[in-house]
Each structure stands twice: as C-alpha cells, then as structure tokens.
Amino acid sequence: MTKSVTISVSGIVQGVGFRPFVYALAHDLGLYGWVRNDGAGAGIRLEGEAIALFLERLHSELPPLARIDALHVSPCEAQGFTRFEIVASDAQGSKHAAISPDIALCAACARELSDAQDRRYGYGLINCTDCGPRYSIIRALPYDRANTTMAAFAMCAACAREYTDPTSRRYHAQPIGCHECGPQLRYTEAGLHVSGSDAIHAAAQALLSGKIVALKGLGGFHLMCDATNEEAVTTLRRRKRRKSKPLAVMVPDLSALHRYSCATADEVSLIASKERPIVTVRKNPNAPLAPSIAPNIDRLGLFLPYTPLHVLLFEACRIPLVATSANLSDAPIERDEAGVYARLGGVIDAMLSHERAIENAIDDSVMQLIGGRALFIRMARGAAPYSYTLQTPVTQPVLAVGAQQKSTIALAFGSRVIVSPHIGDLGSLEAFDFFERTVATFARLYDFTPRLIAHDLHPHYDTTRYAQRSGLATLGVQHHHAHIRSVMFDQGLKGEVLGFAFDGTGYGEDGSIWGGEVLRVHPYGFERLYHLRDFALFGGDLAAKEPWRCAFGLLLEYYTFDEAVALMPRIPSEHLRALHGSAAKAPRCSSMGRLFDALAYLLGLCDEVSFDGESGLLIEAACADAPHAEAFGYRIQEGVIDFEPMIREILTCKPPNAPARFVATLCAATLQIAKAHGLEVVLSGGVFQNRTLLEALIHAFDAEGITYHLPLHVSVNDGGVALGQIAVALQSIDVLR
C-alpha cells in the first residue's frame, strides 16, 4: 500500500539548496510528490514506500548551509503522483521562515572565477546556492528572485537554464547572473569612469598609489587603503575622524595571514570558516604593517576576502588592505553610492562599486577566540539574522528594542525568536534611522505587529523612548538581568544561575549606574547579591571618554580631597576642586567598565578614551608579559566588592606588573563568590571581552569544577541585551497567563 505524507520544515531552508537536495533525494528513493518554499520554510508532499528512509537521510545529508529547526510529518490521502518536482512557492499563510545570512564565496565559485575557460571567469558577483548575498538583498518572504533586489535583472538564456535545472548548483540561486545579464562593476575617480574588469585594475592602481577607495561589498561599503602605507592609514584616520580605534585588515590568503599575525591554528580555522568574520589575533611584531592600524595594543583584527570582488581586487594588488566600515562615528555603514558621496565624499578618493542594490545594510562580524571558545564582539554578516525555535508558541508577538550601545533588536512570534544583525551605537540621527529601518524590515518580512515592546530601564535611551512613544504595552527590563537572561536563553538554561554582569553602563533599579553586578537569576526574576563598591561618576557620560573623572571619583572613596588631588598631578587642581564641589549631584556608579577606565588612567596607560573598551584593551596589552600575576588584596562585605586594598597598594608601591595583578584580583574575587554559592555561573557584559580576564576565569573555573556559560550565538556585550529582554518578556507573558 502506498504511503502518503505532508512534511512542514522550518529553519534555514530557503536559498541554501534545500529544494534541489530534496528533489535529488526523492528521485534516488523512488518517491513522488513535490517540494516548495512557503512562508514557514518549506513544504514537502511525498508518496511512496521509502518515506522513513527519506526522513532519516533528510537530516543526515542536509546541505551545509541548511538548518532544520522543526519538522512536522502528517499522513494524508494519496493523490497518485507519477513524478517528483519542485513547484512554485506558496506566498500565503504565516511567514516564519528563517532568513539565511549572507554567505562568503564558496570553493566551487572561486574555481570558476579563476578559470579562463568558464563563462563567469573574472565576474565580480559570481554566486550559487552555496554562497552569496541573502539577507542583504531580500525584500519579502518567501526568498524568491522577485522578492530581492535582483528582480531588476532579467536572466540570459544560459543563466535561466541553470536557474531552472534542479540538478544545477545554481537552481533557484536568486542572485544568479553573469557578464552578459548580471549587475556590472564600475569605478569612478575625479571624472574617470571605468567598467568591467578594467574597474578592478583601476581600483588596484589607486590603492597601490596610496589612495582611499570605497568598495561595495555584500552588506555595505568598506573604506580601503594600503595597510603597509602609514601615510595612507593616517590620512584615512584623519578624514574619518577615527583617532585610535583599531582598523580591520583584509589579507589576500592564509599565507599572508601567517605573515602578518601570530594567529593560532584555531584562530586560522575561525578566520577561514564559511562566515569569514574579522577575528582579533596577536600581531606579528615584525610584520611591515602601518603602526597606526592598531596603535598601543598587541592585537589586530584580520579577515580574508569573502566576495568575488575582493578576490579579484587582491589578484590585482597583492598587498594587505585596511577594510573598515564606510561610516562616520556613531553612524551606520553606508549601503549605496549616494550615501557614500553625501557623507564620506571628503574621505574617499575613488569608488569601486556594482549595480546590485543592497536592501538591508549589514556590517562585518567580529569575533575572538578565548579559552577555546569563539565569542562574538559583533554579530553581523555571515551569522545574522539568527533564529531560535520555541517549544511553546508565544501568546502575543513581542519586540525587544535592546540597549543604546551595540544595538540589536529581537522578535518573538509564533514558535520563533529572531535576533537582528548588529545595528550599532544609537548616538546620531542616522543611527536611529537605521534602527527604525531595521524594525520596519523585520516587520515587513514577517508581517509582524508587536503587542508588547520590551526595553531597557534607562529613561534616556532612544530605544526606551521609542517603546514609550509606540502606544503599545511596554515592559522595562533591567539591563544586567537582560545580559544574564540572554545567555540563559541562548544556552537553554532553565533553572537558577549565578550571573556575573560586568560592563560599562546599565541603569539600576535604584536609579544609579550599575555595571559590576552579581545576580542570582531564576526563571521569574533576579536578586542583586553583590556589586562593586560605587563611586561618583563626575560628568556622567563624559566620564566614559575622560577617565580621569572616573579616577577622581574612585579616589574620593578612599582618600581626602587633598590626598586625591596629590595623586592626580596631571589634572589642574582647580578643575578637581570645581568637580568636588558638585560631588553631591554626581551620579553614582558600580561599573566595572568605569573601574577599568580609572585604573588605566592611574596606571598611566590612558588619558583619553577615544573608543568603547579602549582602556580594557590597553590593560590587556600591558598584561602580556605577566601571565601569572599575584592578586592584590580586596574585601567582600555585606554584598559589596571593595578593591580599596588594591587601589592603595597600586598608588603606594607602584608595582611594575600592576595591570596583570589588577586582572588577577578581579578573577580572585569572582572565583570566591562563585565557590560560595554552588550554582552554575553565567558570564555576560562587555568586560568579559577582556581576553586576559576571561582566560584566567576559564582556567580557574575548570580547576574548581565550576560549570560556567558564555553566549554562543549573540554578542557577550550589549548586542545580546535584546535577546535577554525577549526572554524576560516571554516569562512575564507566561506569568500573566
């Protein structure tokens, strides 16, 4: 008797070769029916005797870019199909399909790109179902060509044959094109206009001559220059107004990667992975890179070419290239030529672009390996959007709008939670416009209308105001609670945990600035067990840029005014006296990030912070020569972590290895608290991006048998806050039910 079933598949199953895979598998097993895309993912209708084997192989032989989150099989009445085929997409019904991230150039396309006999030889936008743009070009679901920015390009006969052939690697590869019918390259410079392969050679010559070129990638533009040319790099910094924040460097291949860095084998594997992230690795001190690429730190952000255009450019100029996001401070990455010329016209000398429009801007992912764990600093291209499947569908759609810095959003609807790519710091009108555009994009893609908006408690965050202006029900979520809950949700932790949330700024329930918090977190709330001894934050947000303000507030906790002034000879005493007069009005903070700033200033490492986390990077670099430092003294009394003994010893004895001993002290205090409670530990917050601290903690936890958790799929910094807000909101809805 013939068996007949319908199968509903959700996950990343659109634009990743899933339907051709199903087609080939069904033919191999003698099954009949059809497969199609739909709003939830993919639908399959099967008739035949080998359905059980089909389901087994569906999981075991899945294409490398596909991911099945849920699969439902239902018996149905046989229709008497006589063949198996791929049928037109069903655009009706709910839209829950996970969107594939943009994928780096695959090996097969790379071979064709360099094969002089292939018809796509040298085509700068070559792609197939295993690589190329996805999220950056999609306008609507399901993921079909008509719903992407490639709809404007009619396929030639040769491309159309591949597109409609289920056995082709390019079957329904939506961005498919070639020299004849696809988007074309163009180079412009001071009245010069060049197209095709000549555009690449013109850009290479400009870079070799020290010029700054804007290059259009997958999700936006890079600003590029010769990474070995100090004059070119300093010119880029001056024009972009980027004083000292490290610049990412793209290298031609793995041999160059080894030449310019001391990357470990695991770091090399991460850099070469299909996501092609920027990975922070140790510099090769003898490499001929411009000193101003990453001044005063021992780390460098390196990545490999991930688009065919990058590959062709490196074939024309075999030098490492600075490849930094095309934006100004606090602004999003530019996604079209008009935006580059309008806002960065005074930065660039030339532009290498192409005709494929970018619908959704997305920056490069940034990662680092610490203790054998790959952690996101920025979750973006290649990794996002990221989706989770819920065991129980939500009763009402929820939007989480995240934090003010490292912004992301998250959505919960049906059985799915989706986290957006990195949006950025919301410090400008352009950045907030990008935030609103991202919300609108996901609302359009999923026909999503929230009934509840979860937001940060900080009353002055743009995201908080956005939620309050919406007219919808809102839920304020404490910043550090969200940090810990993001890891719990990401890791599927259901019980009680001890959460260490160490970061720069988070609005506390008492109205002060938190940031050095130890929370007991359970499914329906949290308890603040410990916190860093608070101190005055003179100047509020200005203290994050002028660390002497943090240092002065810290010193006044332990010294008289005159003693504190004497310990800060680099600041005029009249400035300090004026600040002291306003001490009663200064906000208080328990921020671990601001403690790093204060110590970096007192240790003479940093007088001015020009980018978020700079003091931590400088302390990390200063720890390199003292890996086994002894901890200073400290006190933990009545829930307060007090580092007064450490501060006094540092300022009195001025030990040469003070930065390493400071980190060792943080590790010792954290370990003491963790051992006292016997709970599984969760670590979250931007301070845990500090390699020296986290490696020491991992080693200590492993030695003591303490179970600990870090995020895998979201950033450890504020990029994970939106997911934590979703987690708290879902529990709140559950309580209300």
185-367, what's its fold? DHBP synthase (3.90.870)
pTM for this model (two decimals): 0.93
Round to whole Å and give the CA distance between 194 and 199.
Answer: 5
Round to whole Å and give the CA distance between 370 and 182.
Answer: 42
Q: Are 710 and 681 in contact (CB under 8 A)?
A: no
Helical spans, DSSP H, in 588-643: 592-602, 614-622
> Measuring CA to CA, which residue among 306, 479, 338 is closest to residue 404?
479
**Is the pLDDT reported for residue 96 higher than 80?**
no
Range 688-710 average pLDDT: 95
For residue 457, the Cα-to-chain-centroid distance in whole angstroms is 23
Round to whole Å and give the CA distance between 457 and 513.
Answer: 11
Just give the CATH number of 382-495+717-736: 3.30.420.360
Range 612-634 average pLDDT: 86
Which pLDDT score, from 0 to 100, does residue 78 have?
87
Question: Measured on CA atoms in the order 198, 132, 310, 239, is the torsion positive or negative?
Answer: positive
> Measuring CA to CA, which residue among 314, 320, 307 is closest to residue 251?
320
Which pLDDT score, from 0 to 100, does residue 737 have?
46
**Is the pLDDT reported for residue 734 higher than 80?**
no
Range 89-99 average pLDDT: 70
**Is the pLDDT reported for residue 436 higher than 90?**
yes
Residue 390 CB neighbours (<10 A): 15
Q: Are 731 and 701 in contact (CB under 8 A)?
A: no
Round to whole Å and give the CA distance between 149 and 138.
Answer: 7
Range 171-185 average pLDDT: 95
The band of 1, judged by pLDDT with boundaries at 50, 70 and 90, is very low
The residues of the chain that CATH labels 3.30.420.360 are: 382-495+717-736
Between residues 241 and 710, which one has the greater pLDDT?
Answer: 710
**Is the pLDDT reported for residue 92 higher than 70?**
no
Q: Tens digit of pLDDT for each residue in 345-360?
A: 999 999 999 999 999 9
**Is the pLDDT reported for residue 735 higher than 60?**
no
Q: Name the one residue in this structure whose structure tokens are 């063949």.
A: 83
Range 453-472 average pLDDT: 96
The band of 579, judged by pLDDT with boundaries at 50, 70 and 90, is confident
- Residues paired with 381 in a beta bridge: 364
Q: What is the DSSP string of 369-402?
A: EETTEEEEEE--BTT-SEEEE-SS--SS-EEE--
Which pLDDT score, from 0 to 100, does residue 625 have?
67
The band of 736, judged by pLDDT with boundaries at 50, 70 and 90, is very low
Q: What integer best gives the mean pLDDT of the chain?
A: 93
Q: Are 129 and 172 in contact (CB under 8 A)?
A: yes
The residues of the chain that CATH labels 3.30.70.100 are: 3-86
Q: Tens digit of pLDDT for each residue in 294-306?
A: 998 889 999 999 9
Quick one: tokens of 446?
Answer: 């999923």
What does the radius of gyration of the chain's CA atoms come to, in whole angstroms? 27
> Measuring CA to CA, which residue among 353, 504, 343 is closest to residue 428?
343
The band of 654, judged by pLDDT with boundaries at 50, 70 and 90, is confident
Q: What is the DSSP string of 24-62?
A: HHHHHTT-EEEEEEETTEEEEEEEES-HHHHHHHHHHT-
Round to whole Å and give the CA distance between 126 and 120.
Answer: 7
Q: In this structure, are strands 708-709 and 680-684 parallel, antiparallel, or unpaired?
A: parallel
The residues of the chain that CATH labels 3.30.420.40 are: 514-520+529-709
State the amino acid at position 320 in one-letter form: P
Q: Give the angle 116-122-127 at the CA atoms, nearest 5°.
A: 110
Q: Tens digit of pLDDT for each residue in 21-41?
A: 899 899 999 999 999 988 778
Q: Tens digit of pLDDT for each residue in 345-398?
A: 999 999 999 999 999 999 999 999 998 899 999 999 999 999 998 988 898 999
DSSP 581: H
Range 438-456 average pLDDT: 94
**Is the pLDDT reported for residue 42 higher than 70?**
yes
| Class level of CATH domain 3-86 | alpha beta
Q: Which residues contact 550 (CB under 8 A, 6 or more apart)?
A: 535, 537, 538, 543, 594, 595, 597, 598, 601
The residues of the chain that CATH labels 3.90.870.10 are: 185-367
Choose the weakest-confidence range: 133-137, 154-158, 473-477, 608-612. Answer: 608-612
Just give the CATH number of 514-520+529-709: 3.30.420.40
Round to whole Å and give the CA distance between 372 and 391.
Answer: 30
Round to whole Å and give the CA distance between 167 and 172.
Answer: 11
Choose the weakest-confidence range: 93-102, 130-139, 223-232. Answer: 93-102
Cis peptide before 385 (omega within 30 of 0): yes
Which pLDDT score, from 0 to 100, does residue 91 have?
65
Round to whole Å and give the CA distance between 509 and 517.
Answer: 12
Round to whole Å and give the CA distance between 382 and 100.
Answer: 9
Round to whole Å and give the CA distance between 232 and 210.
Answer: 5
The band of 328, judged by pLDDT with boundaries at 50, 70 and 90, is confident
Q: Tens digit of pLDDT for each residue in 582-603?
A: 888 889 999 999 999 999 999 9
Round to whole Å and give the CA distance between 384 and 715.
Answer: 11
Round to whole Å and give the CA distance between 54 and 121.
Answer: 38
Which pLDDT score, from 0 to 100, does residue 342 have?
94
Round to whole Å and give the CA distance between 41 and 56.
Answer: 19
DSSP 96: -
Which pLDDT score, from 0 to 100, does residue 80 have?
87
- Give me the numbers of helices (H) and strands (E) for the chain, helices first please: 22, 31
Q: Which residues contact 621 (CB under 8 A, 6 or more apart)?
A: 296, 297, 298, 299
Which pLDDT score, from 0 to 100, does residue 531 have?
98
Round to whole Å and give the CA distance between 9 and 202.
Answer: 47
